[in-house]
Amino acid sequence: MPMFIPESLLNKEKEHVEGFAPEVAWVTMGGSEQLTERLCVRPTSETLFCEHYANIIRSYRDLPKLYNQWCSVVRWEKTTRPFLRSREFLWQEGHTMHATAEEAQEETLRMLEIYANFFEGDLGMPVLRGRKTDKEKFAGAEATYTVEALMHDGKALQGGTTHNFGDGFARAFDIKYLDRDNQLKYCHQTSWGVSTRIIGGIIMTHGDDSGLVLPPAVAPIQVVIIPVQMHKEGVLEAAEALRARLSKFCRVKLDASDNSPGWKFSEYEMKGVPLRLEIGPRDIENGQCVLVRRDNREKLFVSQDDLEAVIPETLEALRAALYEKALENRRNRTWDATDLDTLVDLANNRSGYIRAMWCGELACEEKLKEVADVTSRCMPFGEEPIGDTCVCCGKPAKSLVYWGKAY
């Protein structure tokens, strides 16, 4: 889809435009000439896809429409943070159109679960699944759902979001289809996305003072082979033979540079390589090698005959350990508050999530931001209430909310 969006196209969906207005970057000049219409530098692509949908959807047979794209977008952030909040960032965004509200909702929640499984299964990052409050939902959406992660310092990070737009955009762009009953009906729309913010999340969830700790699924190098005393006869040849074997089932690198083994150990620890395999003259003699885990630096003396079994098992054990460590961090930094004084005290003196009941009123959500500097992270799925009154005003509560300070 194009990078530039004409202002007239963006203005077709009022709520969407108002939500993004503070973050939009505008192009007003083309070369040395003033443009007759301002062009928005794409902050997201809903309006572009809607213009496309309006031209191609005619019948129920055309639905659903399922699109995915990787692109860069621009949002004029007042305060930037590397990886987490930059003005230009790369992301994956999905856009779909459906015949019914039920199908759109099903797609919205399906993608949320795909994101959650990716974070937990591949990245070793436990996440909360839930719905955003109306204040925090995506501009123009009927409902926004989120996977929320907690960093090692107790701050929250929105990992990925999915949005159900209902038929709001369809009405604004007049996107209709002829249904089986021969009636014209409006389509129902979703979108969803994750960005390079994930990289920052990996760093801040698993990293330590020695550098990165990468989950095996996304590590460019899963195993690095370090020959010890490689000037000795047969060491380099044995290391190369191991590299050839391991390359059949994992991403492996042999470092045969002139740097010392100690220098290489530090270098690949900093880069977060999950496993280091050391081999020297004595190892060759004993038919073994040394495996060192990046997360806990545990050393394993492994028979060379067993590497095809041991390395995958060790990579999975490392992933599981990263997940459990992050989950334990979340458990230790999750607090309950049933009154405002407790919530403010926790926000000022503890880090992490605060679980508290909420009446659903915007005024209370804004007051908590004012007095405790916390924002609503999500209304979680499947958790029991911890009371029946709002933590802020004392009126009957409607939802359990996770509150926290976020990047």
pLDDT band with cut points at 50, 70 and 90 for residue 233: very high
pLDDT digits (tens, 9 = 90+) for 128-185: 999 999 999 998 999 999 999 999 999 999 999 999 999 999 999 999 999 999 999 9
The domain at 217-330 falls in which architecture? 3-Layer(aba) Sandwich (3.40)
CATH of domain 4-206: 3.30.930.10
Exposed / middle / buried, residue 268 (Cβ in 10 Å: 0-12, 13-18, 19+)? buried
Q: How does the average pLDDT of the chain come out, rounded?
A: 96
Give 334-404's CATH code, choosing from 3.30.1700.10, 3.30.2350.10, 3.30.110.30, 3.30.470.20: 3.30.110.30
DSSP 195-245: ETHHHHHHHHHH-BTTB----GGG-S-SEEEEESSTTSTTHHHHHHHHHHH
Least confident span in 8-17, 297-306, 387-396: 8-17
Residue 279, pLDDT > 90, answer: yes
| Cβ pair 173, 51 in contact under 8 A | yes
Do the strands 88-98 and 188-195 form a parallel or antiparallel pair, or are they unpaired?
antiparallel
Percent of the chain at pLDDT exceeding 70: 100
pLDDT of residue 313: 98
pLDDT digits (tens, 9 = 90+) for 341-365: 999 999 999 999 999 999 999 999 9
| Cβ pair 275, 294 in contact under 8 A | yes
pLDDT of residue 14: 78
Which residue reads 């000439």 in tokens? 33
pLDDT of residue 50: 96
What's the whole-model pTM score?
A: 0.94
| Cβ pair 162, 109 in contact under 8 A | yes
Instruction: Give the closest residue to 100 by CA, choosing from 191, 190, 187.
Output: 187
Domain boundaries, the chain: 4-206, 217-330, 334-404
SS3 155: coil
